Amino acid sequence: MTTMRAAVLHDFNDLRVEDVPKPRAADAGDVVVKVKSCGVCATDYKAVRGIRRNVRFPFIAGHEPSGIVDEVGPGVASVRPGDAVVVMPSGFCGYCRQCRLGLQHYCENGFTTGGDGPPDVRPGAFAEYLLTKESSLFPKPESVSFDAAGITEPLSGAWKGVIQYSQMSVGDDVVIIGVGSIGLLCLMIARAAGAGHLVAIDTSRHALDHALALGATHAVDPSDGRAKECVYEILPEGPDLIVEAAGPIEAVRLMVELRRRGTRWNVFGITTHETFELDGGETHFLEGRMDASFGTTPVAMMKALRLMERGLVNVEQIITHRFPLARIGEAMEVMGSVARNKIVINP
């Protein structure tokens, strides 16, 4: 086979499923993966719709894949054709200062497949086959489905933000603003880690109902402007940790309002360049700690895989829609609706 089917973005709102050359594992460390499943991220949707503008056309998106090794390049020793694998979208050199500090997602020579971040953006996994590097592959646990394995990357980001960076502890009262797919993953991580009260905030009744079904102890709709009052009725002493997983700048501003002394807060969901204000003196005397989290690392990927393999987090519970590659346009339409959570493409 010399060609494959792929969803190619030629311009904003111009996504076409067409034949493109199939990648080859020609260089050292190259691996071609036959894609079995790929989650749809909000950043994919934003690229298609032109909300995210840092896109070079033509572009094949999709950065949450799992699949089967199809071909290996020179020097590849840890995988072989037929192996079931999970693909970390970011590639790293392993030699630069950032890599040696364990910050592979800051790699000075890094690349991403189907996502954004570094200057080197390579074709992604909304396609039948994906070219990546051996160092970006992880064995898929036998007990984890390909669809669930495709959600490893966002789950790893949730673990990295909630546990590694914001250092959530057993018994912490946690507020999560925005409980779409990434917010639900943060919620499931917090529940597995032993959160005390777990408050979900969202304007969507569908999202709040899903959050309650997955372990939220309380649900708050901020539409009436009483979000802070409602949260402090539930948590009179205020939250220990607030995670913004929504995206709009209004969610970040709400997070700032909800702080009390010592609150940790994580700017997780917003990726657009918008501004919010902080009172310097108040921020000083509250003595809280702001974190943010983007991307993933090998450590976070391993933690996410263990959470799924041990049954501590069941990401199948957040999948609401599955589409074949030929219907990816329909998938993008559903991404714009409120009655969905995680969408998966099965090439």
Domain count along the chain: 2
- The stretch 185-190 carries a mean pLDDT of 98
Separation CA 300–CA 298 (nearest Å): 5
Do residues 235 and 329 share a domain? no
Instruction: Say which residue the tokens 């250092």 belong to.
Output: 167
Helix (H, G, I), strand (E, B) or coil at 273: coil
Give the whole-number percent of the chain exceeding pLDDT 90.
Answer: 93
Over residues 64-76, mean pLDDT = 98
Q: Helix and strand tally (H, E) in the chain?
A: 11, 18
Measured distance CA(171)–CA(217) in Å, rounded: 13
pLDDT for residue 320 is more than 90: yes
The 10s digit of each residue's pLDDT in 215-245 is: 999 999 999 999 999 999 999 999 999 999 9
- Mean pLDDT, residues 259-271 taken together: 94
pLDDT band at 117 (very low <50, low <70, confident <90, very high): confident
pLDDT at 338 over 90: no
pLDDT for res 289: 92
303 in any annotated domain: yes
**Is residue 161 domain-resident?**
no
Left, alpha or beta for 290 (phi > 0: left; psi -120 to 50: alpha)? beta
Show which of 249, 267, 292 is a domain's final residue.
Answer: 292
**Region at 50 (left for phi over 0; alpha for psi -120 to 50; beta for the rest):** left
Q: Are residues 31 and 103 in the same domain?
A: yes
Question: Is 162 a domain residue?
Answer: no
Are 13 and 148 in a shared domain? yes
What value does the mean pLDDT take over residues 192-212?
96
- Quick one: CA dihedral 238, 243, 246, 248, positive or negative? positive
Lowest mean pLDDT among 57-66, 115-124, 249-258, 299-308: 115-124
Answer yes or no: is pLDDT of 1 > 80: no
Residues 173 and 283 in one domain: yes
288 and 299 within one domain: no
Amino acid 26: pLDDT: 96
Across the beta sheet with 174-177, what order do the strands follow? 218-220, 198-201, 174-177, 241-244, 264-267, 289-292
CB atoms within 10 A of CB 337: 10
Q: Do 288 and 299 fall into the same domain?
A: no
pLDDT of residue 272: 79
Distance between alpha carbon 255 and the CA centroid of its chain, in Å? Answer: 20
Q: Is there a single domain that holds both residue 63 and residue 137?
A: yes
Together in a domain, 286 and 303: no
pLDDT tens, position by position, 134-179: 999 999 999 999 999 999 999 999 999 999 999 999 999 999 999 9
What's the CA gap between 161 and 269, in Å, rounded? 10
Same domain, 326 and 214: no
Q: What is the CATH number of the domain that holds 210?
A: 3.40.50.720
Q: Are 149 and 41 contained in the same domain? A: yes
* Residue 160 counted as domain residue: no
What does the mean pLDDT of the chain come to? 96
Q: Are 147 and 178 in a shared domain? A: no
Instruction: Determine the structural domain holding residue 274 and report its residue range.
Output: 167-292
d(CA 170, CA 162): 12
- 20 with 145, same domain: the answer is yes
Which residue has tokens 């086959």?
129
- pLDDT, tens digit (0-9, with 9 covering 90-100), for 278-309: 999 999 999 999 999 989 999 999 999 999 99
Residue 290, SS3 per DSSP: strand
User: How high is the pLDDT of residue 339?
Assistant: 86
CA distance 44 to 48: 6
Q: Can you state the angle between helices 152-159 and 298-309, rounded to 10 degrees? A: 110
Where does the chain have alpha helices with state H?
42-49, 97-100, 146-149, 152-159, 181-192, 205-213, 227-234, 249-258, 280-286, 298-309, 328-335
CATH number at residue 44: 3.90.180.10
Q: In a 3-state reduction of DSSP, which class is residue 220?
A: strand
* Average pLDDT of span 320-333: 97
Cα(173)–Cα(241) distance, integer angstroms: 7
Identify the pLDDT of residue 167: 97
Confidence label for 273 from pLDDT (cuts 50, 70 and 90): confident
Last residue of a domain, one of 249, 268, 292: 292
